[in-house]
Amino acid sequence: MTQEKASTRNRKKQPEPAAEAERMAKSNPAARAVKDDGKTESAKKAAKAPGSGKNSDGAKAPSNSASKGKSVKPLPRDFLMDVAAHVRDAVRPAVRDARGREIVGSASSGDATFKLDQIAEKALLTYLRRCDQPVAYYSEDAGYTTFSSGPPQYLLVVDPVDGSRAAKSGFESCVVSVAATRVIERPQLGDVDNACVMEIAGDRIFYAERGKGSRIYRENSSSFSRPKPSTNTDLEMVSWSMTVPARPAELVFPTAARLIDLTSLKGGFFACNSTSFSLTRLLTNQLDACVDFANRFYRDIPEAVQDQFINAGRGIVLGMAPYDLAASLLIAEEAGCVVTDAYGDRLDEVLMLDSTVSNHRSLIAAANPELHEKLMQFFDTRIQQFEVLLERRAALAQG
């Protein structure tokens, strides 16, 4: 392997032209394109250090942006839960009856908007219009919206149905995701103050406030339990999920094939359609890990794989936009889980409202640091191997 390929883990290409990012920034004043991840070498080393989510004394360390620009108290927990519950109650009958499959439009990301998504978005708008709170909100379908007569103090980042494909088929792997931060010019994922992820088919509610840990509530109950992330570090015993919608199957499954074979008997492999659902399963000890590494291929070798991504997305490039994990990222990290991109870098500095292709991200998440490092080593090696092969194929195809 060449020296250049050996450094792939620290190399991030931006495949999309600046023109698209500029267009999105103009249409949404709260969003700006990411031209460079901007991390210093010291920040990268700290992010990759074993147990980087904890202080030297073993206590959980706050995220990088925990105190940045904080001038107002976080929105009340009950308010975030009320927002989520209003959406859940509106869509739950359709989920239980496996209804709402009709495609009624496209979201700002280009993803399909199902009838179920439309029901959820309408319920969200109705609630926020009458709640009389100084909030603006951002969602995949509605973009950036404000309701208050004066300047809003808070921003809600809402995915009304994360896991729409599962929801419309009546499966349980779908949630309502609500993240809250202060209104600031360029909010990043590390600016989320508190967050709520609520099951639609089930009765669990996951809540976290930055620096105060995560809790798991039950519907119609004021009591809560603490997360119990897995301590398993044996790869053969790992239960894990991989996000697959619009990710080229001919790339992601061969890359993960050896781990799928290793874990499928004593552990478990699941193909999942919801990042937030998968991340919250780390708190319940249902999963040891979840991954979505396809975007690393697109960043590293866009010329070689772009056609595959466009084909998988039925004409457009789709991937994990920041709003996909705005809430669940905080909840998972506050529970002590380790969440990075497929380069091993933390996601705190990712712009939260930019859903352009250039700001899509990858994900390697694990219930504990040792398992995360093992998964990073596995996927880093496999991705580099496939990138060498793909670049050779592309060169041969060009003559």
Residue 19 confidence (pLDDT): 39
CATH topology of domain 77-225: Fructose-1,6-Bisphosphatase; Chain A, domain 1 (3.30.540)
Residues of the chain with CATH 3.30.540.10: 77-225
Span 323-362, pLDDT tens digits: 889 999 999 999 999 999 999 999 999 999 998 999 999 9
Residue 215 confidence (pLDDT): 98
148-154 mean pLDDT: 84
The whole-angstrom distance between residue 72's C-alpha and the CA centroid of its chain comes to: 26
User: Would you tell me how many other CB atoms lie within 10 Å of the CB of residue 76?
Assistant: 12
Residue 163 confidence (pLDDT): 78
Tell me: domain 229-397, CATH 3.40.190.80, correct?
yes
Quick check: helix, strand or coil at residue 104?
strand
Which range among 110-124, 134-148, 205-219 has the greatest average pLDDT?
Answer: 205-219
Span 353-384, pLDDT tens digits: 998 999 999 999 999 999 999 999 999 999 99
Span 216-230, pLDDT tens digits: 999 988 899 999 999
**Does residue 393 have a pLDDT over 80?**
yes
Using only C-alpha atoms, the chain has a radius of gyration, in whole angstroms, of: 20
The per-residue DSSP string of 289-325 comes to EEEE-HHHHHHH-HHHHHHHHHHHTTSS---B-GGGT
Span 237-291, pLDDT tens digits: 999 999 999 999 999 999 999 999 999 999 999 998 899 999 999 999 999 999 9
Span 27-47, pLDDT tens digits: 333 333 223 333 333 333 333
Query: Which residue, among 391, 380, 352, has the nearest Cα to 137 in the 3D structure?
Result: 352
Distinct helix (H) and strand (E) counts, the chain: 12, 15
Residues counted in the chain = 399
**Does residue 191 have a pLDDT over 80?**
yes
85-108 mean pLDDT: 76
**Does residue 306 have a pLDDT over 70?**
yes
154-171 mean pLDDT: 85
Residue 65 confidence (pLDDT): 43
178-191 mean pLDDT: 96
User: Starting at the edge strand that comes first in sequence, how are the strands of the sheet with 214-218 ordered?
Assistant: 143-146, 135-139, 154-162, 175-182, 194-199, 204-209, 214-218, 224-225
- Residue 289 sits at the vertex; the CA angle it makes with 267 and 80, to the nearest 5 degrees, is 130
Residues of the chain with CATH 3.40.190.80: 229-397
**Does residue 102 have a pLDDT over 70?**
no
> Residue 113 — very low, low, confident or very high, per pLDDT cuts 50/70/90?
low
**Does residue 232 have a pLDDT over 70?**
yes
Instruction: Return all residues near 129 (Cβ < 8 A) that are at least 6 apart.
Output: 147
> Residue 210 — very low, low, confident or very high, per pLDDT cuts 50/70/90?
very high
**Does residue 11 have a pLDDT over 90?**
no
**Does residue 1 have a pLDDT over 90?**
no
Q: Which conformational region is residue 245 in: left (phi greater than 0), alpha (psi within -120 to 50 degrees), or beta?
A: beta
